[in-house]
Structure formats: structure tokens, C-alpha cells
Chains A and B, each alone.
Chain A
């Protein structure tokens, strides 16, 4: 029997309207070259289950307090120790939750099979791959229902900003943007939104018959939501699009205040900065009124740990560590995300403040003062970079990495850095879209906190 999937596998509930949507997305005269195929893979039962899940997520509170283990966690730990080979091999569950050893991306990368519960049927397993900047390429075990659950958290995040998704049949719900030389692209429909269209496209000109087709196609699609990362959104800003989405959702990397402001001004809609990772899904959404990223998942316990694995007091910076989640193929116990921030009590849910993608780095100013990387983020935050990196060499000189297309902003950035660092030599280096890098690095001793 062939394991080659067909459209029945990809869209089990497809109706004539859905079929028409797929055809229109693919065959529009300005359509890009779609290079891959995928689909929602959801059955009628899945859709019904997802509707209940969505209701639950929209109604449930994220109500734990920093450093207080929620009641559901103990049973979750017991179940995970019984059902997951990796944890079974550790022996008995510890008496205290805080004695539970942490795991990291390297553990998952070593053998993901050990983390898949015995109770999960393998018939419908799917994977998500990430490369990252840590040197541990990762393959995540998942399931179509898990992928479908993302929408519930997006709706929860959008609700904070007064947006309720409306697009349904014969409309496009979301266009997911990439902007890189090689990108997984395809079309689909979302059964939970009455088969609204979904297009995952690459804005890189190599994927289009003519670069001008990009704006024509996006205007024709007129999606309710654009999802992407700061790199693809920076490219979107350049296109003469006349239609306006109701929201933009940015994931994958930090969104600068400057770029957010430009996007909000250009599209006159909320721009959501969602902290999300393949291993966990959407974790939190940035809300300036809350002072940081507001947690989104009622069944995800977030701790902040120091380098020794001990909890830090509420409000203190440390590594973000998660337990729980909605991927039943990958239950996580004290998973060190590799991201850093502080956790504080929020009005409706706990809030991660000072979220940064990697271990904090200190930089040294010309007069010998140490500066936190958060100071650098503040200094450069108003400049609409899609992304940037700062490296300090052993002699104190600085290298600022920015996208080639944004070199015109270099002088502004140098001025902002000179105010912070004093008279340190600064070199500007142009990045190409595919370059992956760690945002803050230093060769100086004592730079890692």
C-alpha cells in the first residue's frame, strides 16, 4: 500500500465550496508557485472535538500564581511518568514537583520517540521540524487535532484586542507568510471556519512569475488575518496592497516596537506578537496594557528558573520552563524553553515581562559600565528593523547585524547605540534573509549572566 497522501487524506471533510476555494487559491492568474501539499487532515469527529476545545479555551482562565504549582499538575506528572517511556526510565515520580528534573531541547532532539506516550495511536502522527539557533534540529511529534488546536489560542489572543474572526465560506481566513529562498508552501481550508481559505506562501520573488503578482494576489485573497514573522512582515510593508486585514499575528522572533508601529499604521489593525514555539504552541501574546506577554494556555504551567534549576521570586528574570500543554503527543514536564523572562501576576492571567529569546547577555559600555541586553532592546526598539543582532568583540568593539534591505536604518541605530555605549567602534554587517543567528552575543568575560 502506498503511503503517498491524497486529497481525501489532506481534506477529509472537503465540500464543493472548499474544493472551489482550493482551486481558486491555486489557479488565480497571479498565484505563486505552490511547491508543496498539506491539509487540515481533520475528520468530522475531530472538528466536533475542536469546537468543544475552542469553547473551553475561550472560557477558561489561566489562573495560577507565580511559583504556585496548580492542582492539576500532580496528576499530570503521575500520568506522564506512567505513559511516557522517557519518564518511566527515570523511575518513580518525585514527591515534590520542584524535584522533577528539567529537560531541554537537546533531550527531545536526542530521541523524540521516547517522549511519545504509549497511549497515542501512531496512525495519524505528523511532524513539525525546527532548525533553530542552538545546533539541535528538532522533529516534533504531533497530530492534526493538535495543529487544529492552535486556532483556539489565536482566537483567545485576538479576543484580547477585540477581534472575533468572521471569514468563512468563499473567503480567505489566513495567509501565512514566509520570506526566504526555500519555503514550504501550500493551500488548504479551515473546517472550523466553514472552509475559509488558508494559503501558506513565500514572498520571496523566486516563488512568483512576477514580483508585482504578490500584491495583486494578496489583494485578491483579501485575508482576514496575515500570520508571519518580522522578516516577512517587513517585506509585506513594501507591497502596494490596498486591502486591509483585521489582524496580523507575528510569531517566531521578537517583534520590535518600531516595526509593530509601522505595521499598525500601514494596516490599521492590531498586530499581535505571539510567543510561540513548535514544542509548546502559542504560549503568550504581548499586550502593552499588561506590560508584557499574557499567558494563553489554561493547561500550561510556566515557571521561571535560575541556572541551578531553582525557582526565582516573581518578577525576577530567569529561564522560562513549561509543564503541560495541548500536544497530547508530547506531554512536557519542566521543559526548559531556552527563552528568558520574568513572571508576574497579571489582571486576567500571569504575564511574562522582558521576554528575550536567549540567555541574557551583558554588554560593556566605553566607560566600563555593564549594560543589560534589555537596555539594547530599548535603545533599538523604536527603529523598525525586521530583526537585528548585536555582538561585542573581546576588545569592546560592536558588530550590529541587520538585514541588507534595512541598511538605510544603520545610521539611526549607530546613533542610538552611541548614546548607550559612548565612543565604542561599531561595524554594521548586512544579513541575508536565510541567516539564522542568536540576537545578543559577546566575547567578553563576564558577559553571560
Chain B
């Protein structure tokens, strides 16, 4: 966060104003509409880069369960990065690719992608995270302020999600145990048995 970036409000506004097309379904296998790799390709070309097919392959998938949320968030980050401030800043391809590759994967592992558009705290988290990973901080904030705010907004969310994730693991185990109990195995009356 050594460099001064755009004002946070501009980025948050951009997330609020995201065109509906960027919230459409990422194409995975035969389903969905938006070819995310093509979207990434267009973005990188605006930055003057020529991504290889190997790079773009990271934004294609045939596994909905693993990649749907990540690719949906890549689409949102692409929209954010297409802001004229970023393009004018001339960010190098390798940084953009690293950002598009890693940030959505990290954030989407715990939060539905569209929450980064609809929820005010998540909007701020996404805007600050994107800036930080490109080594920028919001305009009018000191390094200390920007660091504190990012760690506070994403730290509390991470903590909440970690607790939720532990609770989810605990519940999944409890469900498996409940289903294996003798009473569950005895089942209950149905007038027909498939």
C-alpha cells in the first residue's frame, strides 16, 4: 500500500453501479452465458497486455461446484479494474493476472460473489483488497489508516467466516453421525418402497 490510489468512494460507487451483465452467470461447461476468460482477455488488452492461452485457461472451468463463485467474482473484479484510473495507472500484466487469479479465489471461498456488490461492508472490503494487492491505498488515507481499516473490515469478516466454517464442519459431522444411528437406519414407514 505504498502508493496512493483513487478515492475509495469512486471504487465503491463503481461497484454499486455495476452493469447487470457483470452479474450474469459465468459459463461453466454447457451452462451460463459469460465467457470469463474472454472478459479477462479484453481487460488485459485495455491495459496493453497480450495474455497467453495458458493464463486465460485459469478463467475457464467445467466444474460448477468449485469455480462458479470464483468466476462470478472475477467478473466483478474485471469491472472494477476497468475503471479509467487503473488503466491510466498502467499496471503491469503480471500484477493484474496475479490479482485476478488470487483475490477472487480467496474471497469467494467464503462469501457469495454478489455480496461484494450488494453488501456495503463487502463492497468496501473488495475495493480495499484490490487496491492493497496492487500496492495502492485509498487517496486521503495514510498507510497506517489504510492498513488498520483493511485489517478491521476484512479481519472481522474473516473471523466470522472462520467461525461459520467451523460450525459448518461440526454440523456436517453431526449429520453424518445422526444418519448412521441405529434409529435412522431403522427408518420409518412409507406405503411404498422405491
Contacts and interface: CB of A to CB of B under 8 A. Distances in A.
A109 interface: no
A270 interface: no
Interface stretch (B2-10, B29-37, B147-155): B29-37
What interface size band does chain A fall in?
A: 35 or more
Contact of A127 (B25, B68, B114, B184): B184
Contact of B112 (A38, A92, A101, A112): A92
Nearest to B174: A122
B16 interface: no
A188 interface: yes
A282 B28 CA distance: 32
A41 B188 contact: yes
Contact of B23 (A95, A128, A142): A95
Contacts of A4: 182
A274 interface: yes
Nearest to A151: B191
Contacts of A288: none
> What does DSSP make chain A's interface, helix, strand, loop or mixed?
mixed
Contact of A150 (B28, B181, B186, B191): B191
A3 B113 CA distance: 42
B192 A282 contact: yes
B129 interface: no
A126 interface: yes
A51 to B, nearest CB: 16
Contact of A91 (B69, B186, B192, B194): B69
A276 B171 contact: no
A251 interface: yes
B33 to A, nearest CB: 7
Contact of A40 (B114, B115, B189): B189
Nearest to B193: A176
B188 A91 contact: no
Contacts of A148: 188-189
A182 to B, nearest CB: 14
> How many B residues are at the interface, by size bracket?
35 or more
A3 B33 CA distance: 50
A125 interface: yes
B169 to A, nearest CB: 10
Contacts of A309: 29-31
A96 to B, nearest CB: 7
A88 B108 CA distance: 11
> What DSSP secondary structure best describes chain B's contact surface?
helix
A3 B182 contact: yes
A227 B191 contact: yes
B89 interface: no
A190 B194 contact: no
B191 A126 contact: no
A38 B33 CA distance: 49
A122 B114 contact: no
A308 B174 CA distance: 36
Nearest to B109: A89
A147 B72 contact: no
Given A148-B188, A274-B192, A95 B20 contact: yes
Contacts of A10: 186
B84 interface: no
29 contacts: A9-B183, A38-B186, A41-B189, A86-B65, A90-B65, A91-B69, A91-B114, A92-B112, A95-B20, A99-B25, A99-B32, A102-B31, A107-B65, A111-B172, A113-B172, A141-B175, A142-B188, A143-B188, A144-B188, A148-B188, A148-B189, A150-B190, A151-B191, A178-B193, A225-B191, A249-B192, A252-B193, A276-B192, A309-B31
Given A123-B178, A148-B189, A252-B194, 18 more contacts: A39-B186, A85-B172, A90-B68, A91-B108, A91-B114, A92-B23, A101-B28, A130-B194, A147-B189, A154-B191, A176-B192, A176-B193, A190-B189, A198-B191, A200-B193, A251-B194, A309-B29, A309-B31
3 nearest CB pairs, A to B: A91-B69, A92-B114, A99-B25
